[in-house]
Structure 1
Amino acid sequence: MLTIGECHRLIIDRETEPGLFLRNEEGDEVLLPNKYIPENFELESEIEVFVYLDHEERPVATTLEPYVKLDEFAFLECVETTTFGAFLDWGLEKHLFVPFKEQVYPMQEGHRYLIFCYLDLDTNRLVGSSKVHAFLDNSELTIKPFDEVDLIISNKTDLGYNVIINELHLGLVYNDDVFKPIEIGDQLKGFIKKTREDGKIDVTLQRPGYRSIEPNAKIILEELERNDGFLNISDKSSPEMIKSVLGMSKKSFKRAAGNLFKQRVIEIKEDGIALTDNQ
């Protein structure tokens, strides 16, 4: 089966007046119009194409590379608005349609929007939706704290920026963790900071200190996690107590704990140290 909206590596079957007919191993065929035929080709050789519907809603192949494919997110420009929806430039001759019901706000020509491309089962057409969060699921997470992930900046909030994680989950980068200009639609690397019981995910744009800090600080963090985020140890504790619990000198503890405090990884209480809510 030739899936609409995906790239396929197909066999050049035969040459006809409108173009080349391509086939897959199962015998499914699609036309590659003359304007996309490579200068040199041989029958029975393979060619990489993208399959979508042409202006007459017929499956057709192209050698052009679209800006977005089926079940992907992209930041695209609106090139036309009509009474029934908007059309976005996705790099192909026929523009990508976004129905009114799939627009968070009415789209405007010349503006760019983050969208998700999906197959409308009622019409068998590829369409876009700016309601991108509807296509994310945090019920079963495929990530864990400290994982490096791919991010797409989704939208600004009072707390920070919503981000799309690995094109699967919705996360949040807090304002305090943003140290460079970022824009809606930006694609960048990030790191999972914390996963919460309610499915929410905290993300940071910098590698969490846990993986890059000095060994003594890592020991403190690991001991905190084993004790529900709290240790009854402070710089007022005796060297013997610190040594028995953490296996390090009081001087080493104070230096490591100080670094963690500066990174806002821990907070210092009267009776000990605790992980912050950012962890």
Structure 2
Amino acid sequence: MFTENTSELHIGSIVELSIEESLPTGYWLSVSSEQRLFLPIENCPQATTDKVKVFITVDKNGQKIADAQLPKSELDKATVLTAKDATDTGAFFDWGTSRDLYVPQKWQESPVNPGMDYLVVPFVDEKSQRIVGCTKLKHFYPETNEWLKPKQTVSLQVFAKTDLGYKMLIDESTLGLLFHSDVHVALRIGDKLQGSIKEIRDDGKINLSIGPQSKDTRKSLAQAILDDLEAHDGLSTLTDKSSPEEIYEHFKVSKAAYKKALGNLFRNKKVLLEKGIVKLNK
């Protein structure tokens, strides 16, 4: 005798289950010898095999159900999602599942505009036991990290823009701030770039800069410039006069970092600098 007790299935998990029974309204999936889970037909229009991989979620009554349309990301992890709609109470994001991911207004870093991308953390709300989203990353990621040190090279991802600068997710683990004065390229929410720790403030919070600061990383940039010249017959039109946007698009570093690397190559007689052209000094 089947029961609908699905306590061993956690909301937000992805599992592969066997189809026990097909109905006009959906499918009963076998969880164990005595337990089963319902997969509504709208969550899986056509089941073509005996087994189906499903996402565990809840229906409008709070009951666990299956969804064969899997999410684009894990729970409790920030991911770039596109806003589909916004109301006075919250916004809806395309998460890949049958039902859009709802982000209540209280969990929004800033007002959400449909069609725009945002960094969203899906999570299970403890009170309602429903999956919702949050764009306030400070609820999931710390603003201090004792393992991060000045000049350390890190990966960055933009998640919000403020009057001071851009709020960044550092190495998918910590939050930091990139001041407008240190930004020389156009940035959008969700953009990923290479950066470094500019300083650790007295309160432990982290200020950032674009591009490398460490000696090893500067050497890597110099080598990347030489490799690019080798690949293009020893010539490049990307000079110290090029726009920050052009430089960032090509090497993912700031104009200041590129100029410094190019200057070092020139002083070491690795390249020749002519009007509008950089030449490999063979």
- The equivalences for 1:52-201 within 5 A come to 52-73=57-78, 74-82=80-88, 84-141=89-146, 143-144=148-149, 149-175=154-180, 177-186=182-191, 188-194=192-198, 196=200, 198-201=203-206
Distance in 2 (alpha carbons) for counterparts of 1:71 and 1:26: 31
Q: 1:120 to 1:12 in 2, by over 3 A?
A: same
Q: 1:190 to 1:50 in 2, by over 3 A?
A: farther
1:3 aligns with 2:49: no
Q: Which residue of 2 aligns with 1:19?
A: 26
Distance in 2 (alpha carbons) for counterparts of 1:109 and 1:145: 38
Distance in 2 (alpha carbons) for counterparts of 1:30 and 1:192: 48
Distance in 2 (alpha carbons) for counterparts of 1:130 and 1:60: 26
Distance in 2 (alpha carbons) for counterparts of 1:175 and 1:38: 51
Q: 1:93 to 1:157 in 2, by over 3 A?
A: same
Distance in 1 (alpha carbons) for counterparts of 2:32 and 2:207: 45
- The equivalences for 1:221-260 within 5 A come to none
Unpaired runs of at least 5, structure 2: 1-7, 220-259, 265-282
1:153 Cα shift? 0.4
On the 8 A contact 2:93/2:101 being kept in 1, the answer is yes
Q: Which of 9, 28, 38 is matched with 1:31 structurally? A: 38
Amino acid at match of 1:128: G
Q: Which residue of 1 aligns with 2:48?
A: 40
Q: Deviations over 1:2-28 (max 9, x none)?
A: 22223x232315133143444557976
1:150 Cα shift? 4.3
Amino acid at match of 2:71: P
TM-score (norm 2): 0.60
1:137 Cα shift? 0.9
1:86 Cα shift? 3.2
- The equivalences for 1:256-275 within 5 A come to none
Amino acid at match of 1:206: G
Any idea what SS the aligned residue of 1:101 has? Answer: helix
On the 8 A contact 2:195/2:210 being kept in 1, the answer is yes
1:121 Cα shift? 0.8
Unpaired runs of at least 5, structure 1: 215-258, 264-279
Aligned-pair Cα RMSD in Å: 3.6
Amino acid at match of 1:19: G
1:71 Cα shift? 0.9
Amino acid at match of 2:121: F
TM-score (norm 1): 0.60
Distance in 2 (alpha carbons) for counterparts of 1:26 and 1:174: 58
1:124 Cα shift? 0.3
Distance in 1 (alpha carbons) for counterparts of 2:137 and 2:84: 16
On the 8 A contact 1:10/1:22 being kept in 2, the answer is no
Distance in 2 (alpha carbons) for counterparts of 1:111 and 1:164: 18
Amino acid at match of 2:11: I
Distance in 1 (alpha carbons) for counterparts of 2:32 and 2:174: 35
Any idea what SS the aligned residue of 1:3 has? Answer: coil
Work out the number of aligned pairs and report it: 213
Larger Rg: 1
Q: 1:151 to 1:64 in 2, by over 3 A?
A: farther
1:141 Cα shift? 4.3
